Chains A and B, each alone.
Chain A
Amino acid sequence: MRKPPEPVQVIKQRRDEALSKLVGRVPYIQYLGVTFDRRGDELTAVLPYADKLIGNPLLPAIHGGVTSAFLEITSVISLSWATLWDDLESGELEGDSTAFRMPKTIDFTVDYLRSGLPRDAYARARITRSGRRYASVHVEGWQDNREKLFAQATGHFLMPQPRSDKS
């Protein structure tokens, strides 16, 4: 006989807890103030505006390094989240802290399409390929208008390898 489906609140709570554990562990994400909105398995990163993020006080515009960091954070968290998802859904995640290890950036290339305005920014990543060792990610960032990207990036990542004592 099939198991009855879990109550929706239980599912939501489990997913949100895993996401906040993943994001909350990284001091740099907290420093920039990046948060993640979740709809099912889809993540949207949010960078709330703050004065300390300014790189050009005359325009004013968000620092190019902040833009790059924001897109890189979105990529890394989206990658970890995607690899975590199956274990999370099957309930195998319980107590497995190795599942929260981060991929390492190999290279990251950012196109600056418009200057970052002094307001909130959003980003979504698409995993173009995810292998056992390497992954390739494309990420888009926008502000007021989803169609008008202010930056996009592609990056390659080295996936965390399973610990040898856990074959």
Chain B
Amino acid sequence: MSDKVNIARQFMEAIPHSRDLGMVLTEIENGVATITMPYDERLIGDPETGVVHGGAVSALMDSCCGAAVMSHPSNPGATATIDLRIDYMRSATPGQALSTTATCYHITRNVAFVRATAVDEDTDNPVAMATGTFTIEGQRR
């Protein structure tokens, strides 16, 4: 495991909400990040079907987009979400973990532009897609 992934993993575990939801950062490099989140009955939004609430999907998407920004080669110091739009294409299958991959596809001195896709075990049919803009605060050396 590379140092970068190790550091990112520790960073993830330092975020109380992400840790509470069991998020694990599996990949982070060059503006691309992947985070998985296990299925959890606490996250159910529709009691009739057991489908996870959209809000839990947005927490996952938001974390993943932020991580993608932080891993961009231009080394941003910190980032915060300006705007995030999520399209919910289908219900996540109850009992299955969710995995999100985010790409920071463009970055300026002040703003980062990010896209993300969330899938369950049926990786060919995304559960949700997100588009967001993020602030860039300073620069790491």
Contact = CB atoms under 8 A, between A and B. Distances in A.
Interface of A: 25-32, 51-57, 63-66, 68-70, 72-73, 101-102, 104-112, 115
B17 A108 contact: no
Nearest to A97: B48
Given A26-B44, A108-B85, A111-B83, A65 B59 contact: yes
B47 interface: yes
A108 B20 contact: no
B41 A110 contact: no
The 7 tightest CB contacts between A and B, nearest first, are: A69-B55, A65-B59, A28-B53, A63-B17, A68-B58, A109-B85, A65-B62
Given A55-B15, A101-B48, A108 B43 contact: no
A156 to B, nearest CB: 10
B43 to A, nearest CB: 5
Contacts of B48: 101
Nearest to A58: B78
Contacts of B53: 26, 28-29, 69, 72-73
B84 interface: yes
B59 A66 contact: yes
A57 B56 CA distance: 19
A141 to B, nearest CB: 13
A26 B41 CA distance: 10
A143 to B, nearest CB: 16
A108 B53 CA distance: 13
Contacts of A101: 48
Given A27-B44, A109-B84, A72 B17 contact: no
B7 to A, nearest CB: 15
